[in-house]
Amino acid sequence: MNVKSNAQPKVDMAEKLVYSFGDGSAEGKANMKNLLGGKGANLAEMCALGLPVPPGFTITTEVCTAYYAGNKKLPGVLETQVKMALSQVEKKAGCVFGDGANPLLVSVRSGARASMPGMMDTVLNLGLNDITVKALAKNTGNERFAYDSYRRFIQMYSDVVLGLDHYHFEDMLQQKKSDHDIELDTGLTADDLKDLVSQYKEKVQEELKKPFPENVHEQLWGAIRAVFDSWMNPRAQTYRKLHDIPAAWGTAVTVQSMVFGNMGDDCATGVAFTRNPSTGEKKYYGEFLINAQGEDVVAGIRTPQTLADMPQVMPQVYKQLTGVFDRLEAHYRDMQDIEFTIQNNKLWMLQTRNGKRTAAAAVKAAVDMVKERLIDKKEAIRRIDPLSLDQLLHPTLDPDAKKTVLATGLPASPGAASGKVVFTAEAAEIMGLEHKEKVILVRIETSPEDIHGMHAAQGILTARGGMTSHAAVVARGMGKPCVSGAGTLAIDYAKKELKVVQHTIREGDIITINGSTGEVMLGEIPTVQPALSGDFETLMSWADDTRTLKIRTNAETPMDAEAAKRFGAEGIGLCRTEHMFFDGERITAMREMIVAKDTAGRKQALAKLLPMQREDFIQLFTIMKGLPVTIRLLDPPLHEFLPHTEEDIKQVAKSAGVSAELVRQRAHELKEQNPMLGHRGCRLGITYPEIYEMQAQAIFEAAAEVMDPSPSRRGWREAPGDGGASGNALAPAPFPKGEGFKVIPEIMIPLVMVPKELELLRSLVDRVAAEVMRKTGAQISYLVGTMIELPRSCLRAGDIVPFAEFFSFGTNDLTQTTLGISRDDSASFIEIYRQKGIVEHDPFVTLDQSGVGELIQIAVERGRKARPGLKVGICGEHGGDPASIRFCQKAGLDYVSCSPYRVPVARLAAAQAALEK
DSSP state of 256: E
888 catalytic per annotation: no
Of 386, 359, 368, 379, nearest to 907 by C-alpha is 386
Give the phi and the psi of residue 104 in degrees, each rounded to 5.
-95, 130
Write the DSSP assignment of 4-26 as a string of letters.
PP-------TTS--EEEEETTEE
Q: Of the residues 394, 455, 470, 878, which is catalytic?
A: 470
Of 293, 339, 318, 270, nearest to 149 by C-alpha is 293
Crossing angle of helices 584-595 and 660-670, rounded to 10°: 80
875 catalytic per annotation: yes
User: Residue 124: exposed, middle, or buried by beta-carbon count in 10 A (0-12, 13-18, 19+)?
Assistant: buried
DSSP state of 598: S
Which strands form 106-112's sheet, in the order they lie side by side?
Answer: 25-26, 18-22, 56-59, 251-257, 106-112, 123-126
Partners of 898 in the β-ladder: 553
Contact 395, 530 (CB under 8 A): yes
User: Residue 719: exposed, middle, or buried by beta-carbon count in 10 A (0-12, 13-18, 19+)?
Assistant: exposed
Question: Which three-class secondary structure string do you get for 155-186?
Answer: HHHHHHCCCCCCHHHHHHHHHHHHHCCCCCHH
**Euclidean distance between CA atoms 854 and 849, whole angstroms:** 6
Contact 469, 823 (CB under 8 A): yes
Contact 444, 461 (CB under 8 A): no
**Euclidean distance between CA atoms 683 and 37, whole angstroms:** 55
**Euclidean distance between CA atoms 465 and 483, whole angstroms:** 9
How many CA atoms are closer than 13 Å to the CA of 429, on its beta-carbon side? Answer: 11
Helix (H) / strand (E) element for 439: namely strand 439-443
Of 785, 797, 911, 784, nearest to 854 by C-alpha is 797
**Euclidean distance between CA atoms 587 and 449, whole angstroms:** 10
Find the length of the chain: 917
**Euclidean distance between CA atoms 329 and 321, whole angstroms:** 12
Can you tell me whether residue 870 is helix, strand or coil? coil
Q: Of the residues 47, 267, 682, 875, which is catalytic?
A: 875
User: Residue 417: exposed, middle, or buried by beta-carbon count in 10 A (0-12, 13-18, 19+)?
Assistant: buried
How far CA 421 is from CA of 101, 416, 428, 516, in Å, comes to 67, 15, 9, 19
Can you tell me whether residue 321 is helix, strand or coil? helix
**Euclidean distance between CA atoms 273 and 324, whole angstroms:** 11
The total of other beta-carbon atoms located within 10 Å of residue 260's CB is 26
**Euclidean distance between CA atoms 853 and 135, whole angstroms:** 66
Reading phi first (left if > 0) and then psi (alpha if -120 to 50, else beta), residue 892 is in: left
**Euclidean distance between CA atoms 155 and 163, whole angstroms:** 11
268: Cα separation from own chain's centroid: 37
The catalytic residues are 470, 875
